[in-house]
Structure 1
Amino acid sequence: MNNVIKQLDSEIVKLISAGEVIESPASVIKELVENSIDAGADSITVEIKNGGKSYIRVTDNGSGIDEKYVEEAFNKHSTSKISTIDDFNKLYTNGFRGEALSSVIAVSETSMTTKTKEQNYGISITYKNEKILEKVKVGTSDGTNIIVKNLFENVPARQKFLKSDKSEAMKITSYLVKYALAHPEVKFKYINNSKQIFQTYGTSDLMQTAKELFSEDFYNKALCVDIKINEDLSLTGLLGKNSLMYSSRKMQYIFVNGRIVHGQSIQKAIEEAYKKYIPANNFPMFFVNILVNPANVDVNIHPNKLEVKFENEQQILTQIKNAVSKQLDSSQMIAHIDNVFGLEKEDFTDIKSQYQEYKNEISKKNSEPLSTSSKLINTSDNKNPEQPPLKFEKVEVDGDYVYKIKNTDTLVKEDSYFSENANEFENKELDFKQSPLLENNSTPAPFFIPKETVTQENFSDKKATEPYFVDLTLLKYAGRIFDTYIILNDEKYMYLIDQHAAHERVLYEKFMKDFKTQEISTQGLLMPNRVTVPINLTDYSDKIIELLDKFGFDCDLFGDNIILIRSIPTYFSENQTELFVQRVFDSYLEEDAPSFDDIIINKIATKACKAAIKGLDTTVKNEEVDKLIFDLEHCENKYACPHGRPTITRLSKYEIEKFFKRIL
């Protein structure tokens, strides 16, 4: 073996350095697209062939490069993005190393055509193996066009490790989807082997961009958020509701100041906020951009710039988790059963002629005498399933509020779908309503609700304005099906409530309240449990006992390192006690040990699950249903059981009526 130490040849050094930045065709795309974004482009086109191995083209309408700097741009560590240490410590751009173009030309044949708006002509330059083959003036539009051919042709060892064309193209697609989500203000077009894969339109509307990328309308399934946490920290993006669950994290995208990052710690913090809404082994959807003061984040961890570190990271992660949790808690999380009958979207192109036909039919019916048995709902034993929208008046009784149904003497025909003015339909979507009758002498039905009624939105076929809240106690009880599901309805929707999941939520919050107020039920042990405190924790023995006491354990110290446990909380079994105490020890021994609060929460959730009404329970009475609905409405989180299963879902009146062809 030759033990002589010598400096590596400059050509080898260049290839090693290029390998840190350019690992695959996707790496080339990443660097070039980031340059385009930093250049202020609002339109970027990416074209590849053979998975990017033989051909890559990135075209933008950004600021371009001035003629005198074109060659300089390909030199290592040459950049227009930073010039001082202060710039480096407050990075607002994706790039800053000045390594991208120099790394690309080291492993490919590269040509660039660029023009600034101040120049009357553009410059085209071609490199192969870092040598200039051609440099000419050309006519071209403002911006930059870069073509990369035969990637790694001069590095066979690297070339043989590239995967199939399909796999490499998939990685490129993944990057471009991320950039499109991070920058909805930019128009992206992606072409693979002459076939357009996707195009976004740069509308700055993230919801619309997501629809263009995933061919799915997230309008009623996600929350568009813009949360200012403090002066140096904000969060924007989309948070999926609990109806959007996946078996993997494929629909989770995280950005920091618009930069793509491997944000596992952020991912974990956001998932923690979703725990109470999403069942175990399922993952929520979210596209979030963390906007943080650049001085508080370090992006210079790795040449690929995918790793970041925050100053006061744990504090920032906690703030992100709390902000997401608060947003979910304050939002309408009732899952809507989308298109349950497999119906196509309504076509309103010929709506005026439909309206005229319907108007003629109604006019004909108006000339006929009304039959109260078929046209009106005016008897208490009428079986017509269509019920009137209820109106309420609030009266204070004994310090509480009573809501009573108002009487009405308005008689409306059954088929009252359309307005009397056809012009209303020219420029607006239809709001299909029915107003069946409530008989004059209907008996007011009082019920106690200590909350104000929340007005719901007018329903529209194309885009229903999602109500943020629905007061379950103001819905009409319509019965139970399969001895498991409670049916409620108003004039817009039918709601289904899983009685077991709902009761589990109610009991869980009661047990948690008892726990937090130290009203914890305990069970004594015939013989005290002896637990040995690790030798390096004996100084913490008193604090450990104090902590165990907080969680409902009755224990004291025997000697220096023995804890005697005399009673335990009822939600623990005796053989689970040692596991929990060990978790307490771990919390002192390991800085990032899992929180032992999780054990308490899981135990209380299990206790609630076992005590709750079961499905297929034939003994449930209407009074119990009323109480359950009332209690559920007053839960902090009424939308999911403690294990994350949904408690409520709904189906719109529109979909039902469309299925039965009542809406043409």
Structure 2
Amino acid sequence: MSDIIQLLPDSVANQIAAGEVIQRPASVIKELVENAVDAGAKRIDVLVVDAGKTSIQVIDDGKGMSDTDARLAFERHATSKIRQADDLFSLHTMGFRGEALASIAAVAQVELKTRQATDDIGTSLSISGCKVLNQEPVACSVGSNFLIQNLFFNVPARRKFLKSNTTEMNNIMMAFERIVLVYPQIHFTFRSNDTELLNLRACGENFRQRIIDVFGKRLNQSLLPVGVDTTVCKIHGFIGKPEASKKKNAHQYFFVNGRYMKHPYFNKAVMTPFERLIPAGEQVPYFIYFDVPAEDIDVNIHPTKTEIKFENEQTIWQILMASVKESLGKFNDVPSIDFDTEGKPDIPVFNQQQTDDFGFAVPKVDFNPSYNPFNTNPRQPSVPSNWEQLYDGAAAQGDNDMQQPGDFDEAALFQTDEMPPAATAPSATIASALNGGTTIEDKSPAHYQYKGKYIMTAVKSGLMIIDQHRAHVRVLYDGYRKQLEDKVGNTQKMLFPEMIQFSPADNVVFQKIMPDMLTLGFDFSDLGGGSYAIGGIPSGLEGLNPISLVNDIVALASENTISVDEDINHTVALGLARDAAIPYGQVLNNKEMENLVNELFASANVNYAPDGKTIIAILSQTDIDHLF
């Protein structure tokens, strides 16, 4: 029997590795930019065409490579950062696997031009699908210039499952932001289809300035510094003020030793001090940088290295939460008392002497220090001596006359459930008096609101329970979808336009959905640099914060895959409906509940909200009877 176990060819092995390391164009940019940072570059330029599907170019002025290193860099497990196994536990660089370039070359066409400062001439290398096509000397600048073309050209299935250009571009910008926020001392530029989206000049170790350059000056007003230095770790960065909270997309970043990471456990440490300061479900922005001994963390537990294991996780959690609490307490927004009296009028101090500065006697005030106005009550009502006669004959009227409100036994109002039913039930006369002359049954409303969240209505099969917020979302969503289809929308002009600024990643999404938002009635003016003036909003949304409204729609669009007009229409309509819908906790009268129920049942889909969540639940009469 022949052997069945055999080694895979390098080309196949590289494609398998590429499935872990290179998932989309953003992965290519992440690996190449990280390598440029490790090469000591002071300037890194990134250029993409068609969201990286056509080409990706990364140019740096780092130390470059020799002709031999340039060739070896594309071999599997080739790296300049590891010499022995122990080095895996004391890494201080970004990339180290030695699979990135080999994986990229396995699924794309690569051209590399590189030169070291000590060499007079550089090296040009061309690779396509793991095959070296050409290597020759070339005149080029010091550093490295990678050109990646036709990503996944030889893996059609992978290329087929790439998302729309908007989605891929959004992922690229997110990956790029995670790197530039850590290295303010490096000059970064980013161009898409020959349009410059970012030009981040070096600003030393000024992390705050880099954050402002990426996300806009408006965020600067909402940042509070955080800082603590212990033997376990050093933490520095910024947290947002409570008023900067958002429902989604609040720019939350953790970095450890210059590497972006996701850490839900530490996220809880940051958000815990905000629990009583922001609405439930909202998030605050934060940019937290950890400096931890390399031997105390493991960055090799995930292929993309975004999940990191800490040795002293619980200790760091406590340190982080205490630091955030201190920052919130130290920089709270309570206005301080201004004791600066320069230029202020002189207010004389009270002089306790018998005469003032002009020689006039100070008038004396007589008062009784032991007087207490609560000791006596001069307005106590007097009791008439013949008060018993006022009630003569009251008992003789009997029970045939209708009782007046307030004449029934007060003890009946405070009887507990432990008393017999006959004793607790009010008489029909009392019920009539309490309800203005009509019986309780006649006065019973058609709907009942439970805890400001559910509308309860008796139906033939039992008790119908309606989620009021989801019901209103469904009604509004259907209306907005119809407006988009009919291309009809009314605009309510704003007296004072509001300015909104997007990060590069959000700006890409916003430009994609802006035409549909204009159709609904929004009015935008492009101010350049990712800033827009909101001059109007759809009619009927008066009272809503226009900036929060637009941000919520963009955040929802960022989370969803937007590839066709149908998806864009759905996302815009859903985001607008969610913000405009009746919130939980809003008290509705019976007429409002009746209108909402009628509008819901006129909808094409009564049972489910646009996001698939249940709107209506029926508690059957049988189940109710079983409870008793």
Instruction: Find out whether 1:213 has 2:214 as its counterpart.
Output: yes
Distance 1:140 1:107 in 2: 26
Alignment match, 1:379 = none
Alignment match, 1:246 = 246
Q: Deviations over 1:231-280 (max 9, x none)?
A: 24011222222231111243101111111112222212211133243332
Alignment match, 1:437 = 345
1:217, distance to aligned residue in structure 2 (A): 4.0
Q: SS in structure 1 opposite 2:185?
A: coil
Alignment match, 2:136 = 136
Alignment match, 1:295 = 295
Distance 1:113 1:80 in 2: 18
Distance 2:290 2:333 in 1: 23
**Cα separation, partners in 2 of 1:322 and 1:249, compared to 1, 3 Å:** farther
Q: SS in structure 2 opposite 1:70?
A: helix
Structure 1: 5+ residue stretches without partners: 337-387, 393-433, 445-524, 528-664
**Cα separation, partners in 2 of 1:312 and 1:43, compared to 1, 3 Å:** same
| Contact map agreement 1:233 1:290 (CA 8 A) in 2 | yes
Alignment match, 1:161 = 161
Q: SS in structure 2 opposite 1:196?
A: strand
**Cα separation, partners in 2 of 1:526 and 1:211, compared to 1, 3 Å:** same
Instruction: Find out whether 1:146 has 2:138 as its counterpart.
Output: no
AA aligned to 2:295 is A
Distance 2:184 2:73 in 1: 28
**Cα separation, partners in 2 of 1:138 and 1:295, compared to 1, 3 Å:** same
1:443, distance to aligned residue in structure 2 (A): 8.2
Alignment match, 2:53 = 53
Q: How does 1:403-482 map to 2 (within 5 A)?
A: 435=343, 437-438=345-346, 440=348
Instruction: Find out whether 1:326 has 2:363 as its counterpart.
Output: no
Alignment match, 2:175 = 175
1:13, distance to aligned residue in structure 2 (A): 2.9
Alignment match, 2:201 = 201
Of 122-131 and 277-286, deviating more is 277-286
Distance 1:104 1:113 in 2: 16
AA aligned to 1:157 is A
| Contact map agreement 1:243 1:335 (CA 8 A) in 2 | no
| Contact map agreement 2:46 2:191 (CA 8 A) in 1 | yes
Normalised to the residue count of structure 2, the TM-score between the two structures is: 0.53
Q: How does 1:385-400 map to 2 (within 5 A)?
A: none
Distance 1:391 1:48 in 2: 56
Q: SS in structure 1 opposite 2:242?
A: coil
| Contact map agreement 2:115 2:144 (CA 8 A) in 1 | yes
| Contact map agreement 2:226 2:323 (CA 8 A) in 1 | no
AA aligned to 2:302 is H
1:321, distance to aligned residue in structure 2 (A): 1.6
| Contact map agreement 1:207 1:224 (CA 8 A) in 2 | no
Distance 2:121 2:21 in 1: 32
Distance 1:443 1:207 in 2: 52
| Contact map agreement 2:227 2:237 (CA 8 A) in 1 | yes
Q: How does 1:333-348 map to 2 (within 5 A)?
A: 333-334=333-334
Distance 1:117 1:200 in 2: 25
1:6, distance to aligned residue in structure 2 (A): 4.4
Alignment match, 1:510 = none
- CA RMSD of the aligned region, Å? 2.8
AA aligned to 2:164 is S
Alignment match, 1:184 = 184
| Contact map agreement 1:236 1:288 (CA 8 A) in 2 | yes
| Contact map agreement 1:226 1:235 (CA 8 A) in 2 | yes
AA aligned to 1:153 is F
AA aligned to 1:29 is I
| Contact map agreement 2:105 2:129 (CA 8 A) in 1 | yes
**Cα separation, partners in 2 of 1:5 and 1:278, compared to 1, 3 Å:** farther
1:391, distance to aligned residue in structure 2 (A): 6.4
Distance 2:257 2:240 in 1: 21
- How many residues are treated as equivalent by the alignment? 352
Alignment match, 1:281 = 281
Alignment match, 1:364 = none
**Cα separation, partners in 2 of 1:269 and 1:140, compared to 1, 3 Å:** same
Identity of aligned residues (%): 34
Distance 2:339 2:22 in 1: 65
AA aligned to 1:308 is I
Alignment match, 1:222 = 223
| Contact map agreement 2:226 2:324 (CA 8 A) in 1 | no
Distance 2:346 2:73 in 1: 77
Distance 1:243 1:19 in 2: 42
Q: SS in structure 1 opposite 2:197?
A: strand
Q: How does 1:468-507 map to 2 (within 5 A)?
A: none
Max Rg structure: 2
| Contact map agreement 1:207 1:218 (CA 8 A) in 2 | no
**Cα separation, partners in 2 of 1:389 and 1:105, compared to 1, 3 Å:** closer
Distance 1:197 1:148 in 2: 20
Q: SS in structure 2 opposite 1:56?
A: strand
Q: Deviations over 1:546-605 (max 9, x none)?
A: xxxxxxxxxxxxxxxxxxxxxxxxxxxxxxxxxxxxxxxxxxxxxxxxxxxxxxxxxxxx
**Cα separation, partners in 2 of 1:211 and 1:443, compared to 1, 3 Å:** farther
**Cα separation, partners in 2 of 1:442 and 1:43, compared to 1, 3 Å:** farther
Instruction: Find out whether 1:28 has 2:28 as its counterpart.
Output: yes
Q: SS in structure 2 opposite 1:104?
A: helix
1:5, distance to aligned residue in structure 2 (A): 5.4
Instruction: Find out whether 1:17 has 2:17 as its counterpart.
Output: yes
Distance 1:313 1:202 in 2: 33
Distance 1:141 1:212 in 2: 28
| Contact map agreement 1:242 1:333 (CA 8 A) in 2 | no
Alignment match, 2:90 = 90
AA aligned to 1:25 is P
Alignment match, 2:535 = none
Q: How does 1:609-628 map to 2 (within 5 A)?
A: none
Q: Deviations over 1:420-462 (max 9, x none)?
A: xxxxxxxxxxxxxx94534558889xxxxxxxxxxxxxxxxxx
AA aligned to 1:437 is P
| Contact map agreement 2:223 2:240 (CA 8 A) in 1 | yes
Normalised to the residue count of structure 1, the TM-score between the two structures is: 0.50
Distance 1:184 1:289 in 2: 13
Distance 1:248 1:109 in 2: 38
Distance 2:308 2:62 in 1: 27
| Contact map agreement 2:189 2:196 (CA 8 A) in 1 | yes
AA aligned to 1:283 is Q
AA aligned to 2:324 is V
Distance 2:65 2:340 in 1: 67
Distance 2:340 2:24 in 1: 65
**Cα separation, partners in 2 of 1:53 and 1:334, compared to 1, 3 Å:** farther
Alignment match, 1:647 = none
Distance 1:99 1:253 in 2: 26
Distance 1:389 1:20 in 2: 59
Alignment match, 2:271 = 271
1:129, distance to aligned residue in structure 2 (A): 1.2
1:207, distance to aligned residue in structure 2 (A): 1.5
Alignment match, 1:660 = none
Of 191-200 and 261-270, deviating more is 261-270
1:227, distance to aligned residue in structure 2 (A): 2.1
Distance 2:193 2:335 in 1: 40
| Contact map agreement 2:114 2:144 (CA 8 A) in 1 | yes
AA aligned to 2:216 is S
| Contact map agreement 1:206 1:238 (CA 8 A) in 2 | no
1:101, distance to aligned residue in structure 2 (A): 0.3
1:119, distance to aligned residue in structure 2 (A): 1.0
**Cα separation, partners in 2 of 1:216 and 1:73, compared to 1, 3 Å:** same
Alignment match, 2:111 = 111
Distance 1:27 1:294 in 2: 24
AA aligned to 1:35 is N
Q: SS in structure 1 opposite 2:112?
A: strand
1:155, distance to aligned residue in structure 2 (A): 0.1
